[in-house]
Amino acid sequence: MRRRWADVWGGGAILGVSLLLLSQTLGDQFAHAEVARNPFWFPRLLLVLLTLAAVTMIVRGLATRQKEAGERPLWWRFLLVVAAVGLYLLTFDRAGFLIGSILFVPIFAALLGFRRPILSVVFSILFVSALWFVFADVFIVRPPGPGYDSLMDSLRGDDG
Amino acid sequence: MDSVLAALGAIAHPGIILVILGGTAIGIVVGAMPGLGSVLAITLALPLTFVLGPEASIALLLGLYCGSVYGGSISAILINTPGTPQAAATVFDGYPMTKRGDAALALGWATTASLIGGLLSTVVLIVAAPLLARIGLRFGPVEYFALGLFALTCVVSVAREDLVKGIAACLIGLAAATIGQDPLTGDLRLDFDSFDLSAGIGLVPFLVGLFALSEVFSRLAERQGATPTLLAQGAFRLPPLIELRRRAGVIFKSGMIGTWIGTLPGVGATAASMISYAEAKRTSPNRAKFGTGEPDGIIASETANNAVTSGALVPTLSLGIPGDPITAVMLGALVIQGVTPGPRLFVENPNLVVFIFVALFFVNIAMFVLGALICPIFSRLLRVPEPLLMAAVVVLIAIGTYTVNYNPFDLLVALCAGIAGFLLRLGGVPLAPIVIGFVLGPMIEQSLRQGLILHDGAFLAFFTQPIALALFILTAVFLAWPLLRARRERRQEATAHEQQEQR
């Protein structure tokens, strides 16, 4: 029999976020305003309830036992995926959609153990180009960064 | 009649036809991919609704919704893995049919049952939604607050295994919705003096991160990847008409179960298909063959889960209360289009309401035709390597989220919501109440505070309104029910344990 550690950690994380947000609602200039006109009243009510729920999760996790531990994820793989996706998303507007995405797909697939580089590069180019066409030409919503038009211009040495 | 003709005219537009066909086809494909599901299909398409008009957006979302619910049956039948949770009960008899070489007929039954379920519930939607909207017109802030609270309670009480986690999830969604400007006074709150947070958390990055990105993280962090075994190519054969007539009772009953469950907030298509399957197993003349490849099992599950699609739209359209995460996202998409679902929609925009009704008929027919035409392709699509599929989903998430506001901060929100969603899934916290809380949060807060202002701060006055009082009583019953059930189960367990010890 094991303690329900997932509940303890989960409750702890929720408690931390809840208290952080709750600290933002205290000592406001609307302290003397009537309840309905105080912008901090409703969030404060929610966060107090959330804090109570988190504490209940922690206490229950410590007090009760379960027969089997749930299946644990591969943390290294999760962190690897988060790092790759995070890097891609946070550099998305600077690297541009075309270049960033065409590079991202095969690298991401390779990180996940996909060992057919030619297939993943071809898939990446076709998929990303199709998306570019759909967004830029069908929906007239231009994704960030240089498109095929400006890439071709730079290849031809045309700066204008 | 004019509205119907106008709706038919709008649907006859080539652009709308294309959107219906495209949305339904993509929905079927996404639904057939195990683990992707209806919510992912809808959330990924949400950013596209910014560039489409209201009719096209609605047609796209309806196509994705119905298509993805149906699509789940394909992988359930072909590879013994339901593409969506809604198709879990289809596995019981669908895969045994495949094993004995009847995959084509099983797909035919699933497709036909889905069509009939969808059409039956659309008829109920057309009859019930305007009636409910008429009642909704009498609603003031107090009634809306009571209704919002009731919807949240329904969603929470469905988190059967853990009420505390359900409540916590709901509160997380409600609290996240309060970040940014106060809807009544315009004051900033919980913004940590950040300019980006002062506008609040965007619906698109929040939902896309919470559902789609966390799904990517969850699938890739799993210890064992699913390696489906494909027994048959996905050919397609329609069931004989005489067989269809013989099983009409099961079809009708399952359709009604699905529609009824669909109208209840929070219960959803998975429960509908399971209940319908259990009911068919109890009453069908072929009940002895259930679990061995009996078409009645497929019919019960598929008719019910597709009947939920229109059923769930009854409270969404008539009262503005979404029944599940999918309709919550659809509600958000409608709001983005400047269309606010609720009783006023039927008065102010009747043409759009009729368009939705008519579009649902066409979407269901498109689903049937596309399902029949392209079923054989699915067996190939199911073999797309997971790393490539997941990379493609991330690219879709990025472009879809970024192009809504051209704001890199939205991508950061999606990433954080994705990580939070992954950790919450891991801790067994359900995500559906978060979404419903996030979508309903502003309405609940606004109506509560307006009600308090109207009644000079006296909350007890809320209980003097008959409709609100009825909803509060229902809320209390829904909250108490899981607790009472758990207590009864504990007592039964204890009694059984005692009896065992005495022996």
Residue B484 CB coordination number (10 Å): 10
pLDDT at residue A3, rounded to an integer: 64
Pairing mode, if any, of strands B188-189 and A2-3?
Answer: unpaired
Q: Name which of A98-112, B2-16, B246-260 the model is least confident about.
A: B2-16
B398 chain-A contacts, CB cut-off 8 A: 88-89, 92, 97, 101
pLDDT band at A51 (very low <50, low <70, confident <90, very high): very high
Picking from A109, A139, A143, the nearest residue to B388 by CB comes out as: A109
Q: Do B175 and A18 touch (CB under 8 A)?
A: yes
Question: A2 forms bridges with which residues in the sheet?
Answer: A66
Picking from B168, B402, B419, the nearest residue to A144 by CB comes out as: B402
Nearest CA among B435, B432, B83, B132 for reference residue B273: B83
Structure tokens at B208: 């896309």
Separation between Cα atoms, residue B64 and residue B40, nearest integer Å: 10
For residue B225, pLDDT over 60 is answered with no
Chain Cα centroid distance, residue B5: 29
- Which DSSP helix (H) or strand (E) runs through B181? strand B180-181
- Which DSSP helix (H) or strand (E) runs through A66? strand A65-66
3-state secondary structure B213-247: HHHHHHHHCCCCCCCCCCCCCCCCCCCCHHHHHHC
Helices (H), A2-156: 5-25, 41-63, 75-90, 92-95, 97-111, 117-132, 148-155
Structure tokens at B210: 């919470």
For residue B232, pLDDT over 60 is answered with no
**Could you read off the pLDDT of B313-335 as tens digits, one per residue?**
888 888 888 877 788 888 888 88
Nearest CA among B125, B81, B50 for reference residue B364: B125
pLDDT band at B159 (very low <50, low <70, confident <90, very high): low
- The length of chain A in residues reads 160
pLDDT band at A159 (very low <50, low <70, confident <90, very high): low
**Could you read off the pLDDT of B110-125 as tens digits, one per residue?**
999 999 999 998 988 8
Asked if residue B303 lies in contact with residue B276, where contact means CB atoms within 8 angstroms, the answer is: yes
Nearest CA among B369, B371, B362 for reference residue B20: B362
* Selected residues 45-74 of chain A with any CB under 8 Å from a CB in chain B: 46-47, 49-50, 53-54, 56-57, 60, 70-74
For residue B168, pLDDT over 50 is answered with yes
For residue A149, pLDDT over 80 is answered with no
Q: Which positions ≥6 away from A153 have C-beta within 8 Å?
A: A159, A160
**How far apart, in Å, are the Cα atoms of A119 and each of A85, A97, A122, B377, B379?**
21, 20, 5, 20, 19
Determine contact: A10 vs chain B, CB below 8 A.
yes
Q: Which residue is closest to B213 within chain A, CA to CA?
A: A85
Chain Cα centroid distance, residue B439: 14
Percentage, residues of chain B above pLDDT 70: 92
Structure tokens at A144: 């960030």
* Selected residues 208-267 of chain B with any CB under 8 Å from a CB in chain A: 213, 216-218, 220-223
Q: Which residue is closest to B186 within chain A, CA to CA?
A: A39
Tell me the average pLDDT across A14-42. 84
Q: Do A36 and B172 touch (CB under 8 A)?
A: no
Picking from A71, A92, A109, the nearest residue to B398 by CB comes out as: A92
